Amino acid sequence: MKTPSPFPPFDADNAHNSESLKHRASIPLRFVIPNIITIMAIVSGLSSVRMALENRFELAVILLLVAALLDGADGRIARAINGSSRFGEQLDSLADAINFGVVPALLAYIYILERMGKLGWLAALIYSVACCLRLARFNVMLEDNNHDAPEWKKNYFVGVPSPGGGCILLLPVYLGFLDMPIDNTVAMVFCIYTIVIALLMVSNFPVWNAKSIRSGVRRDVVIPAQLFIVVYFVLLVSYMWQTLAVSTFVYLGFLPLSAYAYHRRARIEAAKSK
Q: Is residue 162 part of a domain?
A: yes
pTM of the model: 0.85
Q: Is residue 15 part of a domain?
A: no
Total domains, the chain = 1
Q: Is residue 38 part of a domain?
A: yes
Q: Is residue 192 part of a domain?
A: yes
State the Cα torsion 98-201-107-89 to the nearest 10°: 20
Q: Is residue 14 part of a domain?
A: no
Q: Is residue 97 part of a domain?
A: yes
- Domain span including residue 201: 25-273
Q: Each residue's pLDDT tens digit in the chain (274 positions)?
A: 455 666 666 666 655 555 554 555 667 777 788 889 999 999 999 999 999 999 999 999 999 999 999 988 888 888 888 877 788 888 888 999 999 999 999 999 999 999 999 999 999 999 999 999 999 988 887 766 655 677 777 788 888 999 999 999 999 999 999 988 889 999 999 999 999 999 999 999 888 887 766 666 677 777 888 899 999 999 998 999 999 999 999 999 999 999 998 888 888 888 777 6
Q: Is residue 237 part of a domain?
A: yes
Q: Is residue 18 part of a domain?
A: no
Q: Domain of 74: which CATH number?
A: 1.20.120.1760
Closest of 25, 98, 32 to residue 67, by C-alpha: 98
